[in-house]
DNA sequence: TAAACTGTAACATATATTGTTACAGGTAAA
DNA sequence: TTTACCTGTAACAATATATGTTACAGTTTA
């Protein structure tokens, strides 16, 4: 993981597409809402498409969810847009000639995985539909 | 959170200090094990000291744990060394003139907190003593 | 055929992370 | 009390990562 806002932006994009169906859904228009650049939006959308979250077609500003919003979890979106999904990063450059430098990595790896699993389990519970509903209810 | 190995290195340092008591515990020596720079080590140690995890004294290479290893959790160390502890980062630059740009932040914040709490709860369960024991058992 | 769009590569900028140099001042032992 | 070695910390450099931008080939629709 990292200091990236790609997950937030990806959720933003998907939510935008669902809520604003029928209006202009070009990357330029979405970029205005995210306050970013059309290319950045298309980049994220390409990743979402790759992972089966989004349908879009070349030349047409007509993106759609690839499947129902209650079957798309935060974890799905996270995995789609982040190439490195680990929240905690192990230092892999430690000195292998040292007892601790040599063994710290496998030990930490085990515990870091526990933390990762716990976070991912929680992310899997949260669905895109939850977020969409919440934003729609605020808007009314 | 971020793409930082400070947590890993901090655990490494603390483990090193406990296991190698009686030997040379200068920042230069520890840096060799971490395969880093003495100043980087001292920087991390200063943060651990600040948060009550470590005792060290100016001029003397004699660092010690500030309290028993089974009372120091991964979460304590993480909070000591990382100034920004959030694993997921919200894009705060979205367009406030847009319905979604305006409301996405508070909505995501709520769900991100759930993920954060879940991860932190897990990190709190893991104690420095667990890691030390594990490395000691491998070494035998 | 024209206007507007997507998809993607290539490059530029910004920011975060780690490494390095430098030095003031503490400590311990000869 | 001098010497060698240490910590703590500031300032700067190098590197890695994230985001923004320009450019353009090819698609779609009217």
Q: What is the CATH number of the domain that holds B66?
A: 1.10.10.10
Q: Does B7 touch chain A (CB under 8 A)?
A: yes
> Is B3 in Cβ contact with A89 (below 8 Å)?
yes
Q: What does the mean pLDDT of chain B come to?
A: 96
Please, which pLDDT band fits residue B139 given cuts at 50, 70 and 90?
A: confident
What own/partner pairs with CB < 8 Å and gap ≥ 24 does B102-107 have?
B103/A135, B103/A138, B103/A139, B104/A8, B104/A11, B104/A12, B104/A15, B104/A135, B107/A131, B107/A134, B107/A135, B107/A138
Question: From CA B69, how far away is CA B132, in angstroms rounded?
Answer: 8
**Those residues with Cβ within 8 angstroms of residue A80's Cβ, 6 or more apart along the chain or in another chain:** A10, A47, A48, A50, A51, A53
What is the phi/psi pair of residue A22, to 5°?
100, -20
Q: How far apart are CA A81 and CA A93, in angstroms?
A: 27
Give CA separation, A12 vs A139, B66, B94, in Å: 15, 45, 9
Instruction: Quickly give B113 CA vs C10 C1' distance in Å.
Output: 38
Mean pLDDT of B46-55: 98
Which residue has the closest alpha carbon to C26 C1'?
Answer: B59
> Within a domain: residue A48?
yes
Give the CA-trace dihedral at B105, B109, B115, B119, to 10 degrees.
Answer: 120
Say if A30 falls within a structural domain: yes
**Residue B110 domain-assigned (yes or no):** no
Q: Which residues of A touch B134 (CB under 8 A)?
A: 107, 110
User: What contacts B102, CB < 8 A, 6 or more positions away?
Assistant: B94, B95, B96
pLDDT score of A104 more than 70: yes
Q: Is the pLDDT of residue B3 over 90?
A: no
User: For residue A81, what pLDDT is reported?
Assistant: 98
Looking at residue B88, the DSSP 8-state letter turns out to be S
**Total number of domains in chain A:** 1
Q: Please give the pLDDT value at position A20.
A: 97
Residue A119 φ then ψ, to 5°: -70, -40
- Look at residue B36 and tell me whether its pLDDT is greater than 60: yes
Residue A132, CB, strand C, below 7 Å: no
Under the banding of pLDDT at 50, 70 and 90, the label for residue A1 is very low
pLDDT mean across residues, chain A: 96
Residue A1 belongs to a domain: no
> Chain B residues with CB inside 8 Å of A4's CB?
89
Query: Residue B114: pLDDT above 60?
Result: yes
Q: Is the pLDDT of residue A66 over 50?
A: yes
Residue A68 falls inside a structural domain: yes
Q: Is residue A114 part of a domain?
A: yes
Could you say which residues from 39 to 68 on chain B have a Cβ atom under 8 Å away from some Cβ of chain A? Answer: none
User: How large is the average pLDDT for residues B77-91?
Assistant: 97
Q: Is B136 on the interface with A (CB under 8 A)?
A: no
Domain that holds residue B18: 6-85+128-139
User: Does residue B23 lie in a domain region?
Assistant: yes
**Inside any domain, residue B107:** no
Instruction: Give dist(CA A44, CA A34) in Å, integer.
Output: 12
């Amino acid at each position: 993981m990292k200091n990236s806002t790609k997950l937030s932006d990806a959720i933003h994009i998907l939510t935008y597409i669902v809520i604003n169906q029928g209006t202009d859904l070009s990357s330029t228009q979405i970029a205005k809402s995210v306050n970013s650049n059309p290319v950045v939006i298309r980049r994220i959308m390409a990743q979402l498409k790759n992972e089966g979250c989004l349908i879009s077609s070349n030349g047409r500003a007509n993106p759609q969810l690839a499947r129902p919003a209650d079957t798309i979890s935060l974890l799905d979106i996270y995995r789609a847009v982040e190439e490195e999904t680990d929240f905690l990063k192990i230092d892999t450059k430690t000195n292998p000639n040292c007892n601790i430098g040599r063994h710290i990595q496998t030990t930490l790896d085990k515990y870091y995985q526990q933390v990762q699993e716990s976070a991912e389990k929680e992310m899997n519970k949260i669905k895109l539909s939850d977020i969409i509903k919440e934003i729609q209810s605020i808007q009314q």
